[in-house]
């Protein structure tokens, strides 16, 4: 007979632990952008900032750390200017391609 596990006993999944290099980050963002949900984009940028160091990203973007946490929460809709500043601080480039 299998042992039952309570959901509350499971560890919380943290995607930031799996963003080990630039290729991981780029693929993660590619998938999130393809889905087109601004709230998911904010959450993804928050995960990446956490993986790379929120304080460093805040300094590099010129956005206060507390404001950055607030802007990059799941289901928020940060302004394009904020997204651009965060991308630049992370060493990323936001580009567009044609839809297929």
pLDDT digits (tens, 9 = 90+) for 1-19: 688 888 888 888 889 999 9
State both tokens at 69. 């946490």
Q: What pLDDT is recorded for position 100? A: 76
Question: Would you say residue 68 lies in a domain?
Answer: yes
Task: Give tens-digit pLDDT for 49-64.
Answer: 999 999 999 999 999 9
Residue among 68, 70, 83 at smallest CA distance from 33: 83
d(CA 77, CA 35): 15
- Does residue 74 have a pLDDT over 80? yes
C-alpha torsion sign, points 21, 11, 67, 55: negative
Single out the residue of 87, 47, 84, 91 nearest to residue 69, CA to CA.
Answer: 47
Residue 57 is predicted with a pLDDT of: 96
65 belongs to a structural domain? yes
Q: Domain containing 41: what range?
A: 21-89
Residues in the chain: 100
| Look-up of token digits 């507390």 | 66
**Domain total for the chain?**
1
């Amino acid at each position: 007979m299998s042992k039952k596990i309570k959901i509350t006993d499971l560890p919380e999944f943290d995607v930031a632990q799996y963003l080990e290099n630039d290729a991981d980050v780029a693929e993660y963002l590619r998938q999130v952008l393809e889905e087109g949900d601004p709230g998911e984009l904010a959450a993804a940028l928050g995960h990446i900032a956490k993986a790379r160091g929120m304080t460093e990203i805040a300094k590099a973007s010129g956005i206060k750390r507390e404001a950055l946490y607030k802007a990059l929460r799941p289901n928020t809709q940060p302004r394009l200017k904020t997204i651009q500043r965060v991308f630049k601080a992370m060493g990323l480039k936001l580009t567009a391609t044609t839809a297929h």
